Structure 1
Amino acid sequence: MPADPLIITDDCTACGACLLTCPEHALRPAPGRPVVLADRCTACGECVEICPRDAIDLLA
């Protein structure tokens, strides 16, 4: 798994949909946009699919 399996772009509005969807709890709220916990992320893509702004890109 790469060091950063996901990138959250500036299009993120911090709506929280990805936080609730991630089965591995690999996203944490932070000012501006969530932070990816790379050691927990399995690059399943569920957050990418649920994001209403298409603000998450899967790098893996």
Structure 2
Amino acid sequence: MSRAGEPIAEIGACQGCGGCLLTCPEHAIRPDGGRLFVLAAKCTGCGQCVEVCPVDAIDMRART
């Protein structure tokens, strides 16, 4: 399992389309009070959520 990155959402840019929620193969992204919450323990860093976002509201940040 690759854990090279972690998705970071820019809440102000997110238009709530839900594409990232539907695309994540690990179901690691959850809505929470109008924000996106990434379950770090489930995220593999695949980047599919970044690729599917039509407004570039998600970026992959290196894990530290």
Normalized per residue, the structure richer in strand is 2
Identity %: 58
CA distance in 2, matches of 1:47, 1:36: 11
What 5-or-longer segments of structure 1 have no aligned partner? none
Secondary structure, aligned partner of 1:59: strand
Q: What TM-score comes out, normalization by structure 1 length?
A: 0.85
Aligned length: 59
Q: Tell me the amino acid that sits aligned with residue 60 of structure 2.
A: L
Report the structure number with the largest CA radius of gyration.
2
Tell me the TM-score normalized by structure 2. Answer: 0.80
Superposition misfits of 4+ residues, deviation over 2 angstroms:
none
- Secondary structure of 1:6's partner? strand
